[in-house]
């Protein structure tokens, strides 16, 4: 079956149909658990205690959401995560891009030594206690900065970025130099704009990491005013603590005691995913386009 070379609105080939089916099924399976989460979040205690949950929503009850949204701690941890993500990405991207660009310059004296030292750290580290001591010496223990700075650099991304910068043609820089530009200017006014999709991608990579951050918070953060969203989620989902415990102290006839535990847990998941859902398709435009991850030639 010949297809036209211009991939315009040609008729669907058998291949296309097959792909539709395969991807369609995959997408359904991928998405189904989230659908389930949504249904459960709308479940009512009375209903659940009588019937089991099937594939269709049985009730449309917003109690879980009401309870969740009235928890100040939920909002503060969400806010913290937003702060950490925004500033985290700014920090990480600034030093990563600058560093990767510099490291891509083969002619820079000492470059190979630096790269070796950096790669070495991918495998060897001194362990948690000395790391803790360093963080403590810097005064970062129990500070939100601990989730931005020490957590904020990925050797993996750094290497890939460096490789990418290495694939850019030298002519770009040479012509700029002829016009009298210095290296900083070149980086900011020439390299960055050209690499926009690429930068966007890694910005997204880092953003995901910061948003999902919980390990550093677990070890270093005690003040509940500074905990990020993922810790809040952990408490709700895994230890059945946090909000549920506070609810335990409240009057028996208030809204809070009417909530069905899994419904509350699922509502928490739904609400905390909203920021991602909003931001994601928007960014997808950028990175799905030509990411020249000729990363690999290097």
Residues 50-89 that bind other proteins (CB under 8 A): 50-55
| Binders in 214-233 for other proteins, by CB under 8 A | 214, 218-219, 222-224, 230, 233
Give the range of 57-65, 82-90, 171-179, 246-254 binding other proteins by CB under 8 A: 246-254
Neighbours of 122 (CB within 10 A): 11
Output the smallest distance, CB 189 to other proteins, in A: 13
Helix axes 261-288, 72-103, angle to 10 degrees: 30
| Cβ–Cβ < 8 Å for 88, 148 | yes
Neighbours of 60 (CB within 10 A): 9
Residues near 269 by beta carbon (within 8 Å), at least 6 away in sequence: 37, 41, 233, 237
Output the smallest distance, CB 225 to other proteins, in A: 8
DSSP tag of 6:
S
14 part of the interface to other proteins, by CB under 8 A: no
Total number of residues that touch other proteins (CB under 8 A):
133
Residue closer to other proteins, measured from CB, 5 or 178: 5
Output the smallest distance, CB 68 to other proteins, in A: 14
Tokens at residue 208, please? 């995901």
Output the smallest distance, CB 269 to other proteins, in A: 5
Residue closer to other proteins, measured from CB, 66 or 258: 258
- What span, in angstroms and rounded, lies between the C-alpha atoms of 173 and 195? 14
Residues near 48 by beta carbon (within 8 Å), at least 6 away in sequence: 260, 263
| Binders in 157-196 for other proteins, by CB under 8 A | 158, 182-184, 187
| Cβ–Cβ < 8 Å for 153, 92 | yes
Residue closer to other proteins, measured from CB, 86 or 294: 294
- What span, in angstroms and rounded, lies between the C-alpha atoms of 132 and 220? 8
The DSSP annotation for 187-214 comes to: IIIIIHHHTHHHHHHHHHHHHHHHHT--
* Residue choice 62, 82, 90, 244 for contact with other proteins (CB under 8 A): 244
Give the range of 57-65, 82-90, 131-139, 170-178 binding other proteins by CB under 8 A: 131-139
* Residue choice 77, 85, 96, 195 for contact with other proteins (CB under 8 A): 96
Output the smallest distance, CB 183 to other proteins, in A: 4
DSSP tag of 53:
-
Give the range of 63-71, 82-90, 136-144, 169-177 binding other proteins by CB under 8 A: 136-144
């Amino acid at each position: 079956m010949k297809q036209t070379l211009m991939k315009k609105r040609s008729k669907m080939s058998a291949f296309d149909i097959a792909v539709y089916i395969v991807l369609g099924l995959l997408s359904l399976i991928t998405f189904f658990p989230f659908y389930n989460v949504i249904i459960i979040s709308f479940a009512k205690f009375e209903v659940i205690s009588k019937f089991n949950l099937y594939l269709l929503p049985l009730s449309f009850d917003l109690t879980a959401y009401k309870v969740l949204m009235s928890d100040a701690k939920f909002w503060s941890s969400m806010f913290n995560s937003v702060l950490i993500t925004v500033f985290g990405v700014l920090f990480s991207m600034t030093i990563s891009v600058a560093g990767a660009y510099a490291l891509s310059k083969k002619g820079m004296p000492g470059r190979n030594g630096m790269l070796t030292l950096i790669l070495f750290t991918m495998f060897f580290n001194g362990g948690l206690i000395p790391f803790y001591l360093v963080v403590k010496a810097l005064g970062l223990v129990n500070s939100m900065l601990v989730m931005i700075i020490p957590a904020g650099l990925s050797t993996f991304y750094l290497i890939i970025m460096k490789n990418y910068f290495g694939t850019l043609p030298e002519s770009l820089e040479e012509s700029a130099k002829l016009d009298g530009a210095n290296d900083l200017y070149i980086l900011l006014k020439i390299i960055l704009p050209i690499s926009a999709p690429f930068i966007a991608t890694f910005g997204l990579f880092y953003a995901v990491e910061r948003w999902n951050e919980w390990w550093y918070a677990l070890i270093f953060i005690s003040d509940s005013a500074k905990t990020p969203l993922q810790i809040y989620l952990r408490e709700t989902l895994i230890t059945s603590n946090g909000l549920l415990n506070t609810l335990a102290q409240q009057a028996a006839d208030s809204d809070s005691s009417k909530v069905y535990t899994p419904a509350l847990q699922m509502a928490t998941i739904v609400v905390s995913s909203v920021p991602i859902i909003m931001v994601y398709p928007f960014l997808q435009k950028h990175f799905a386009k030509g990411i020249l991850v000729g990363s690999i030639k290097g």
